[in-house]
Amino acid sequence: MPFTPFLAVLGPQDLLDMLIDTTLLGKIVLLLLLILSVLSWAVMFDKGRSLSRIRKGHREFWQRLASWREGREPVTSLTAWCEERVDLPLANLWLEAAPQKSAVMVRRACERTAYAETEELERYLIILSTTVTIAPFLGLMGTVWGIMQSFTEMGSGTNTTLNLIGPGIAEALITTIAASRPPSPRWSSTISSSVRSISWATKWNASAPSSRRR
């Protein structure tokens, strides 16, 4: 990264002094970037872990469903397995649809469950999209503000020294670095695509229980 040599020559006290010397706007920008970064990375790790568990569980669900259709496993065993894994969309789909007595009720139960599971899967994704959208602009605003402070100090004095323009440049650099800490758009897009894929599969299979009951 281009900022590594710059950060390597700074100690903890130097970084603390830079933060203390930043203007109020710079501190607000850094605080917002810190909050967005922590929240977005938390969502990334949580969604990544959940999606991995769902994919693994769905593979096992299809295997057990195939065993039931071939007569190698009773329906009660499949239902008991689903009851132990209510965090899986397809398991909930089965639990809601299997007890229904008519095709219309099965379809309504599947549609209702698919909608609820999709909503649950997409929860908190707005944090990722918001962070990816506004973090670069917040970093740019902090950068421009820091450079403006340096130019203002240069214009207000006759002797331009590093001590005069240094704090503004330091503020511009540290906000630029902070803006690169949230997840990149590529990672956010990967998580969103995986969520949409599982949501689509859940909706597409919403009519599966009714067809298998016939």
Per-residue pLDDT reduced to its tens digit, 149-190: 777 777 766 566 666 666 667 677 777 777 777 766 666 677
Cα–Cα distance measured from residue 167 to residue 1, given in angstroms and rounded to the nearest whole number: 22
**Within 10 Å of residue 12's Cβ, how many Cβ atoms?**
7
pLDDT digits (tens, 9 = 90+) for 87-142: 888 888 888 888 888 878 888 888 888 888 888 888 888 888 888 888 888 888 87
- The residue that leads in pLDDT, 173 or 86, is 86
Q: In the chain, how many domains are there?
A: 1
Angle between helices 125-156 and 185-204 (to 10 degrees): 160
- pLDDT exceeds cutoff 60 at 79: yes
User: Average pLDDT of 28-46?
Assistant: 85
CB 89 within 8 A of CB 121: yes
Contact status, residue 171 vs residue 149, Cβ threshold 8 Å: yes
Specify the pLDDT at position 184.
67
Q: How confident is the model at residue 44 (pLDDT cuts 50, 70, 90)?
A: confident
Average per-residue pLDDT for the chain: 76
Domain that residue 39 falls in: 4-213
* Predicted confidence band of residue 211 (pLDDT cuts 50, 70, 90): very low
**Which of 57-61, 94-98, 205-209 reaches the highest mean pLDDT?**
57-61
